[in-house]
Chains A and B, each alone.
Chain A
Amino acid sequence: MAKDRRPRLDIKRGAIDLSHGAGGRATAQLIEEVFAPAFGASGGGDDFAAIELNAGRVVVSTDGHVVSPLFFPGGDIGALAVNGTINDVAMAGARPLYLTAAFIIEEGFPLSELARIAQSMGRAAKAANVRIVTGDTKVVERGKGDGVFIATTGIGVAPLNVAVSGANIRPGDSVIVSGSIGDHGIAIMALREGLSFEAEIISDTAPLHGLVEAMFASGAEIRALRDPTRGGLAAVLNEFAQQSGVGFRIEEAAVPVKPAVSGACELLGLDPFNVACEGRLVAVCAASDAERLLAAMRAHALGREAAIIGGAVEDAHRFVQMKTAIGGNRIVAWLSGEQLPRIC
């Protein structure tokens, strides 16, 4: 058989074209020269991966990632995709094991940037002890995509005796947040066109499954876990309230916000409660276990600034109410759409 003398891809200067998504040799070459080395896979050639799972409850989660800009302080769309899906699986109390990744790439997208993203994904997966086992590549015409979109699916296994859900919360339970809120959203906004300022804020994107394991290991009775991504802390608390039919009473002074995030929010007229995080979680636990859980979180690198911010109460209206810095009360509202900057 004659050896295929196809020249290697010019990663430095080359760009994606429609043939890379057509499923033919160009696609295979892209996988072989960009994705497989980055993911540490051998590119077996099949369109599937067959894996064996240990006993337990299988958890699966999927996510689409459309962040713009693709590269930002603290990460990029690749790391976000990997960590985001790892976190979704971890929020079920499961250990994430495998990921799939589907790419929808715009014609003309630089190969150098694609390689950079792929390598970032490989690093993030390796750091989390998770394997990217299969995926897909499609290419859309110029102008029909935003550079690249990534969809990831994660598979993990949870012990059979772990059952966390937003519907498990009871009045009296405590609410803990794992660290400062709003870092990711502000890091992104700092780069977006139209909002030009330099902030010393980097995205908090991080895989949280190690923290979650430490939390379960503490023996605390954990009712619910969620990561406050789109919609921020306000969305998570309101979702929990609806699911469990409770209200929440929290203290503004107890919620950690970095000064720079606060300053950026002030400048733009944003509320940190509605700004996305990517490496934080909200945990609800039995009140008697709150201190124990807090200690376990603070002992972990990703939970150093964890704080108890309030608790669940009986409330037929399911209001998330907050005591403000000056001692008054207000609702923490659930925004219906994206928060937009205000001038008034």
Chain B
Amino acid sequence: MKYVDEFRDGRLARALAAEIGRASQEKESYRLMEFCGGHTHAIARYGLEDLLPGNVRMIHGPGCPVCVLPMGRMDDAIAIARQPGTILCVYGDLMRVPGSQGASLWKARAAGADVRMVYAPQDVLSIAEAHPGREVVFFAIGFETTTPPTALLAKEARARGLPNLSIFCNHVMTPPAMRGILAADALIDGFVGPSHVSTIIGAAPYEEFSGPSGRPVVIAGFEPVDVLQAILMLIRQLNEGRSEVENQYKRAVGRMGNQRALELMDEVFCIRESFEWRGLGFLPASARALRPEFAEFDAERRFATPGLRASDNPACECAAILRGQKQPRECKLFGGACTPETPMGSCMVSSEGACAAHWTYGRFREEALA
């Protein structure tokens, strides 16, 4: 696979690991957060941490839209799915995410709700056209990478005059979350910036984090060699006392991002005043909603939903883990009450959460230490 295999090359990885080993001798510790859940997954799935020296630690950020979706919002989606005649269209990632009392879309489907997995938002159009007498709802989640495709769906639905299609919008935003993490006294020295969010928003939005009281940000490609190179660039910035935005993923990311996608998002969505992030609490201006001009496609206007907040188990340490203050194994629930099959908090809910990634791919390291 071109532009994939080259960036998974073992020889390049080893050479970068050696450089990182050399460069990281200057400071006692480097605490780097990879914001994006896809990066968390890649790091775990390739065992990248085995190539890093002991004083370079990766802290796994909240860039996983499934993980940070509040349980109350999942309850709302399940309520929509349970309405007779409704077809709820979702990405596969959402099927097993628990709402309150262990409910899930998977279980709702088993009990007779019509919940269908789609690969692309455009698939929802065909379903709506094929079932004119039924309400077809798209459960939209994701960061800025996934938001423009939902915008296309809304526009196309309007162009085709589909009265039975609506969108349950849970799109969230990256820079506000990074701000939220830093504001909460996080022990983080630098960020590995997300690959594909940056394709859309560009490198410019991260510049707010530059400067003396900020943190270096290096935007990294998706493959393990990309991540290693970005880590090296971050270590060099920290050694040199710099705090800038650098771009390791120049083959896909420019400074201004994808203008067309940005305009499209702006046309269809406005920014919510505040939105709850599971594990992080309420963050201002951190999520999107459909604009009034697209109100007819807003599932929250069309359906009555419980709209309740559901709180996590008080012993859940996700909030501290997401800020790099604790590690998964320091949470009392980890591996016992809380496993990928029975997730108690956001970090375990999807395979990209810090705790899930550690459990699924990396917990042998603990056992080796024990």
Listed in ascending order, the chain A residues whose CB lies under 8 Å from chain B are 193-196, 259, 262-263, 266, 268-269, 317, 319, 321, 323-331, 333, 336-337, 340-344
Contact of B364 among A194, A324, A331, A340 (CB under 8 A): A331
Q: How far is the CA of A179 from the CA of B13 in the complex (A)?
A: 28
**B97: shortest Cβ distance to chain A, in Å?**
11
Q: Which residue of B lies closest to A325 (CB)?
A: B8
Tally of A-B Cβ pairs under 8 angstroms = 100
Given contacts A325-B46, A327-B51, contact A263 B363 (CB under 8 A): no
29 contacts between A and B (CB under 8 A): A193-B116, A194-B117, A194-B119, A196-B119, A266-B1, A324-B45, A325-B224, A326-B46, A326-B47, A327-B13, A328-B48, A328-B50, A329-B364, A330-B44, A330-B47, A330-B362, A331-B360, A331-B362, A337-B96, A340-B93, A340-B117, A341-B119, A342-B93, A343-B91, A343-B93, A344-B37, A344-B38, A344-B93, A344-B142
**B137: shortest Cβ distance to chain A, in Å?**
15
Q: Which residue of B lies closest to A268 (CB)?
A: B119
Residues of B within 8 Å of A341, CB to CB, are 91-92, 117, 119
B198 at interface, CB cutoff 8 A:
no
Q: Which of A193, A196, A326, A342 has the most CB of B within 10 A?
A: A326
Given contacts A194-B118, A340-B117, A341-B119, contact A319 B351 (CB under 8 A): no
B341 at interface, CB cutoff 8 A:
yes
Given contacts A194-B118, A326-B48, A329-B47, contact A263 B1 (CB under 8 A): yes
Is A321 a contact partner of B10 (Cβ separation < 8 A)? no
Is A343 a contact partner of B45 (Cβ separation < 8 A)? no
B208 at interface, CB cutoff 8 A:
no
Is B362 a contact partner of A194 (Cβ separation < 8 A)? no
**Majority SS at the chain A contact face:** loop
**A239: shortest Cβ distance to chain B, in Å?**
17
Is B364 a contact partner of A317 (Cβ separation < 8 A)? yes
Is B116 a contact partner of A194 (Cβ separation < 8 A)? yes
Residues of B within 8 Å of A344, CB to CB, are 37-38, 41, 64-66, 93, 142, 350, 352
Residues of A within 8 Å of B187, CB to CB, are none
Q: How far is the CA of A329 from the CA of B361 in the complex (A)?
A: 8
Contact of A194 among B41, B47, B123 (CB under 8 A): B123
Q: How far is the CA of A87 from the CA of B186 in the complex (A)?
A: 55
Is A326 a contact partner of B117 (Cβ separation < 8 A)? no
1/0 contact string of B328-370 vs chain A (CB within 8 Å): 0000000000001100000000111000000011111001000
Residues of A within 8 Å of B64, CB to CB, are 344
Residues of B within 8 Å of A324, CB to CB, are 45-47
B residues 186-242 touching A (CB-CB < 8 Å): 224-225
Q: How far is the CA of A325 from the CA of B351 in the complex (A)?
A: 20
Q: Which residue of B lies closest to A271 (CB)?
A: B45
Given contacts A266-B4, A327-B13, A328-B50, contact A340 B38 (CB under 8 A): no
Q: How far is the CA of A327 from the CA of B16 in the complex (A)?
A: 12
Q: How far is the CA of A319 from the CA of B47 in the complex (A)?
A: 15
B49 at interface, CB cutoff 8 A:
yes
Residues of A within 8 Å of B9, CB to CB, are 326
Is A325 a contact partner of B45 (Cβ separation < 8 A)? no
Is B142 a contact partner of A329 (Cβ separation < 8 A)? no
Q: Which residue of A lies closest to B49 (CB)?
A: A328
Q: How far is the CA of A216 from the CA of B86 in the complex (A)?
A: 56
Residues of A within 8 Å of B164, CB to CB, are none
Residues of B within 8 Å of A319, CB to CB, are 364, 367
Residues of A within 8 Å of B340, CB to CB, are 336
Q: How far is the CA of A327 from the CA of B49 in the complex (A)?
A: 10
Residues of A within 8 Å of B352, CB to CB, are 344
B95 at interface, CB cutoff 8 A:
yes
B residues 247-266 touching A (CB-CB < 8 Å): none
Beyond A325-B8, A326-B14, A344-B93, list 17 extra A-B contacts (CB 8 Å): A266-B1, A317-B364, A324-B45, A325-B224, A326-B9, A326-B48, A327-B13, A327-B47, A328-B224, A329-B364, A330-B45, A330-B361, A336-B340, A340-B93, A341-B91, A341-B117, A342-B351
B residues 89-147 touching A (CB-CB < 8 Å): 91-93, 95-96, 116-119, 123, 142, 146
Q: Which residue of A lies closest to B64 (CB)?
A: A344
Given contacts A341-B117, A344-B66, contact A325 B10 (CB under 8 A): yes
Residues of A within 8 Å of B38, CB to CB, are 344
Residues of A within 8 Å of B4, CB to CB, are 266
Residues of B within 8 Å of A328, CB to CB, are 46-51, 224
